[in-house]
Structure 1
Amino acid sequence: MNTSELLTYCMSKPGAEQSVHSDWKATQIKCDGMLFAMVHDVEGRPAVSLKSTPALADLMREEHKDVFPSEHLNKSHWNTLFLDGSLKDSQIYYLVDASYQQAGTAK
């Protein structure tokens, strides 16, 4: 998956809005003011940070070498994953959907 495909998918979510966080050099995707995806480069590789339950965050880190705690966000809820790594596109789409749902229920 590439950054453009990911951003297109994120922006297809109802209420999705895109902005740039200049300090982190990241594109943030929010719904109703709640962050659900942050697209950025990590070590020169395309990556996305997504929110999940702490249990899913831990499971993903244990099972995938391309998933790790997010640098700038709450590490118990937020993972960063490489878009060009071992995760299948279908897994990334699932995690985007889960993050979108988490952001929607965080109100």
Structure 2
Amino acid sequence: MKYEWLDEYCLSKKGVEKDFKVEWDATRYLIGGKMFALQGGDKNNKAITTLKCEPQFGKFLREQHQHIVAGYYMNKEHWNSVYLDGDVPDDVLKEMIDMSYESVLNSLSKKKQKEIIGA
């Protein structure tokens, strides 16, 4: 895999938990019990990571990068999948991870957010 730092980067965020969903054969990264990143494979077993993005930004990314596609097996408007053997720049993938994390964190109750970020 080209993005060896991906697991460590996701886990470096506050309150992140990681598990393996056997039925999906995929690793999930969760915040407050909600998934913000998924690392697994497509129907051809090509390694992908799937992240939540603001719909317009996700569409823009798919137009700019051939290795970013609408979320595999997810809501195509809000989720995007990145092929991990592709050429998406590290900074773009990190921005997508950050956006996904923030989006899911902000969807949690204010109480839960405070518990997670410690504010």
TM-score (norm 1): 0.91
Equivalent in the alignment of 1:75: 76
Shift in Å at residue 3 of structure 1?
5.5
Higher-Rg member (1/2): 2
Equivalent in the alignment of 2:57: 56
The total of aligned residue pairs comes to 107
Shift in Å at residue 71 of structure 1?
2.3
Percent pairwise identity: 30
Supply the distance in 2 between the matched residues of 1:70 and 1:23 (Cα, whole angstroms).
18
Give the RMSD, CA atoms, in angstroms. Answer: 1.5
- Where do 1:85-104 residues align within 5 Å? 85-104=86-105
Shift in Å at residue 4 of structure 1?
4.2
User: Which structure shows the bigger proportion of residues in helix conformation?
Assistant: 2
Q: Do 1:54 and 1:76's aligned partners in 2 also have CA atoms closer than 8 Å?
A: yes
User: Are 1:20 and 2:20 matched, yes or no?
Assistant: yes
Q: Do 2:47 and 2:83's aligned partners in 1 also have CA atoms closer than 8 Å?
A: yes
Q: Do 1:3 and 1:46's aligned partners in 2 also have CA atoms closer than 8 Å?
A: no
Q: Do 2:39 and 2:49's aligned partners in 1 also have CA atoms closer than 8 Å?
A: yes
User: Which structure shows the bigger proportion of residues in strand conformation?
Assistant: 1
Structure 2 portions without partners, runs of 5+: 109-119
Change in Cα spacing, 1:94 to 1:5, as seen in structure 2 (3 Å) is same
Structure 1 portions without partners, runs of 5+: none
